[in-house]
Amino acid sequence: MKKTKFLISTAVLGIATLVAIAADHIDAPAVQGGTSDITDFYAFEGEDDSNIAFVANVQGLLGAGSDTQNAAFDENVLIEFNIDTNDDKVEDLVIQATARDGKMYFFGPVAPSQTGLNSTIASTTTNQASVDISAYGASAIIENANGMKFFAGPRDDPFFMDFAQYGQIIAGNASSFNSPGTDTFAGTNVMSIVIEVPKSMIGGSGTINTWVESKRKQ
């Protein structure tokens, strides 16, 4: 019995170690596999080149079917896009997103009431909007407000990597990648939040620093 348990825990540990190599999927013990686990963050010029699109993905490695069907944004989790416009690595503006009863609510860009590890929701800002969370299997629902665009719902995981082979290399079981490699994230989904915002609302010109955070209601 004890031996079985030991073998199982060893196997689980082995898998966890292997799995802990990705964009940010399952990156740390406190968040891995949970509703606040950020898998990826993207920021790029939009189809309209006067805009920047931000993407935050959470809850990675969702399989097609019931796995994705049953996935939901956690109403106690706040996803916060941070924007530093003066290169001091401290957020000058935030865009906050949090789900309530089938909708994703957005606040910002707005100067946060406090910077750092703790946040309150900027529920009095004039820059606010909401979008119905798109259902699995239905068309994407897009909301336009204040010159911005908003989406929330399940999407294909845009990340690609042969991370199984990377794990083999790190573990000392292989000395190189395969050619061609195998995309470990093929066929998997994430819960995605996409925002498009005019550049004029996040600094206008030059280079900004951006990052995304997940924060849980205390």
Partner 1 sequence: MKINNIKLYAIAILVSVTALNCNNDDDINISTEPNFSGTYTQEDQMGRPAVNTVFVSSGMKDAFNTTIPSEQGAAFQTMFQNNLEGLSPAYNTPTDANALTLTSAQFTGLLATDVLNVSLDGTTTFYDGTNVLTGRALADDVITVELLLIFGGEDFSENPGLSNDNVNANDKAFLSSFPYLASPW
Cα torsion through 62, 187, 193, 84, rounded to 10: 100
Side chain identity, residue 4: T
Closest separation between CB of residue 51 and partner 1, Å?
9
Kindly tell me which residue out of 8, 66, 111, 216 binds partner 1, with binding defined by CB under 8 A.
216
Compute the radius of gyration of the chain from its Cα atoms: 19
The token duo for 80 is 């916060």
What's the Cα-to-Cα distance from 173 to each of 22, 169, 170, 178, 207, rounded to whole Å? 18, 6, 8, 13, 42
Looking at the Cβ atoms of 73 and 151, the one nearer to partner 1 is 151
- To the nearest whole angstrom, how small is the minimum distance from the Cβ of residue 173 to partner 1? 14
Separation of alpha carbons 59 and 68, rounded Å: 10
The tokens of 106 are what? 């957005």
Toward partner 1, which CB reaches closer, 73 or 159? 159
Q: By CB under 8 A, name the one of 60, 94, 95, 98 that touches partner 1.
A: 98
Q: How far is the CB of 2 from partner 1 (least distance, A)?
A: 22
CB 129 within 8 A of CB 146: yes
Q: Does residue number 215 form part of the binding site for partner 1 (CB under 8 A)?
A: yes
Question: Does the protein bind partner 1 through residue 147 (CB under 8 A)?
Answer: no
Q: Does 140 bind partner 1 (CB under 8 A)?
A: yes
DSSP label at residue 110? E
Instruction: Report the 10 Å Cβ neighbour count for 65.
Output: 10
Other Cβ atoms less than 10 A from the Cβ of 217: the count is 10
Q: Is 118 in the site for partner 1 (CB under 8 A)?
A: yes
Q: Is position 125 an interface residue for partner 1 (rule: CB under 8 A)?
A: no
Q: Is 110 in the site for partner 1 (CB under 8 A)?
A: no
Nearer to partner 1, 8 or 138 (CB): 138
Q: Does 188 bind partner 1 (CB under 8 A)?
A: yes
Indicate whether 132 belongs to the interface with partner 1 (CB under 8 A). no
Among positions 1-40, residues that touch partner 1 (CB under 8 A) are: 17, 20-25, 27-31, 36-38, 40
Among 44, 66, 111, 171, binds partner 1 (CB under 8 A): 44
Nearer to partner 1, 3 or 72 (CB): 72
Cβ proximity of 26 and 33 under 8 Å: yes
